[in-house]
Amino acid sequence: MNIEEQIKRLREELHEHNYRYYVLDAAVISDYDFDMKLKELQALEEAHPEFLDETSPTMRVGGTVTKNFNTLVHEQRMYSLDNSYSKEELLEWEQRIKRNLGDATVSYTCELKYDGASISLSYENGQLVRALTRGDGFQGDEVTANVKTIRSVPLHLRGDFPPRFDIRGEIILPLEGFEKMNEERIKNGDDPYMNPRNTASGSLKLQDSALVAERPLDCLLYALVGRDLPSKTHYELLEKARGWGFKIPREAQLCHSIKEVLAFLEHWDVHRHQLPYETDGVVIKVNDLQQQEELGYTAKSPRWAIAYKFKTEQASSVLEKITYQVGRTGAITPVANLQPVLLAGTTVKRASLHNADQIAKLDIREGDTVFVEKGGEIIPKIVGVDLTQRPAESTPTIYITHCPECGTLLQREEGEAQHFCPNTGGCPPQITGRIQHFISRKAMDIDGLGAETVELLFKEGLIENYADLYTLTKEQILPLERMAEKSAENLVQGIADSVKIPFERVLFGLGIRFVGETVAKTLVKAYKNIDALMAATSEELMEVNEIGQRIAESVVSFFQEDQNREIMEQLKRYGLQFSLTEEQLQNQTDLLKGKTLVVSGVFENLERTELKKLIEDNGGKVSSSISSKTSYLVAGNNMGPSKRSKAETLGVPIISESDFLDLIK
> Hey, which residues are catalytic here?
113
> What are the start-end ranges of the E strands in 409-494?
none
Distance CA 323, CA 246 (A): 49
What does DSSP assign to residue 69? P
Cβ–Cβ under 8 Å, residues 338 and 319? yes
* Sign of the torsion formed by the C-alpha atoms of 262, 263, 267 and 270: positive
Q: Which residues pair with 123 in a beta bridge?
A: 128, 165
Distance CA 368, CA 366 (A): 6
Distance CA 626, CA 516 (A): 27
- What angle is formed at CA 509 by the lines to CA 503 and CA 514, rounded to 5 degrees? 105
Q: Which helix (H) or strand (E) holds 380?
A: strand 379-385
List, in order, residues 6 or more apart from 185 with CB less than 8 Å away.
191, 192, 193
Give 311-360 as a DSSP string. Answer: PPPEEEEEEEEEEEEE-TTSBEEEEEEEEEEEETTEEEEEEE--SHHHHH
Give 574-623 as a DSSP string. Answer: TT---B--HHHHHT---TTTT-EEEEESB-SSS-HHHHHHHHHHTT-EEE
List, in order, residues 6 or more apart from 45 with CB less than 8 Å away.
7, 51, 52, 56, 58
List, in order, residues 6 or more apart from 484 with CB less than 8 Å away.
none
Distance CA 651, CA 649 (A): 6
Distance CA 143, CA 409 (A): 49
Distances (CA, A) of 494 to 139, 469, 501, 509: 18, 11, 11, 16
Name the burial class of residue 165, with classes exposed (0-12), middle (13-18) and buried (19+) by CB atoms within 10 angstroms of its CB: buried
Measuring CA to CA, which residue among 225, 224, 218, 265 is closest to residue 242? 224
Cβ–Cβ under 8 Å, residues 333 and 430? no
Q: Which residues pair with 334 in a beta bridge?
A: 324
Distance CA 139, CA 69 (A): 12
Distance CA 522, CA 517 (A): 9
Cβ–Cβ under 8 Å, residues 233 and 286? no
List, in order, residues 6 or more apart from 412 with CB less than 8 Å away.
356, 418, 419, 420
Backbone angles phi, psi at 323, to 5 degrees: -120, 170
